[in-house]
Structure 1
Amino acid sequence: MKAQDVLPDGKDQGIFHGVAVRKGTVGAFLANARVCVDPAAPPEAVAAARRDIQHAMPALQALGLFDILQVRDPALRDWMQALPGN
């Protein structure tokens, strides 16, 4: 399967298990996760990244991302598992 098979060119979002998921959601999650695990990241950047991750969790779960992949950083993984709805 190719990316365009999931979301064709010109389409910015799709519905997965009843949840609207924007193109770029997984990429944004990865960027935010990198901030969260960066020991040099300023606390306000980590807080913003965590807010963005929390907001994206329904979409990431609808995609089944965490059914296949596990967050390697224990602190980030524990924080995510403690979010409401997990």
Structure 2
Amino acid sequence: MFIAKKEFDRSLIGNAVYISGYDKDGYEWDTYALVRTVTLDTMTVVLDTTEVETLSIDDFEHGLNMEVWERGAGDE
């Protein structure tokens, strides 16, 4: 039997994201952030308040949602 390993995609680094919902500790998220680092099952983000937070795959499996904001060709 194989167990699928879940991890964040390193291409998220440097992207702006919108995070909403509840993490595994019950904290409610509704904010924009910049992805600073990605290490397998965790990622570090800088919030719009300049605070730095670390999120895990478990947070997203529990109920967090993330939308990646990518720059379009017309935005450059």
Same-fold status (TM-score > 0.5): no
TM-score, scaled relative to structure 2:
0.25
The structure whose RCO (Cα within 8 Å, separation 6+) is larger is 2
Whose strand fraction is larger, Structure 1's or Structure 2's? 2
Whose helix fraction is larger, Structure 1's or Structure 2's? 1
TM-score, scaled relative to structure 1:
0.23
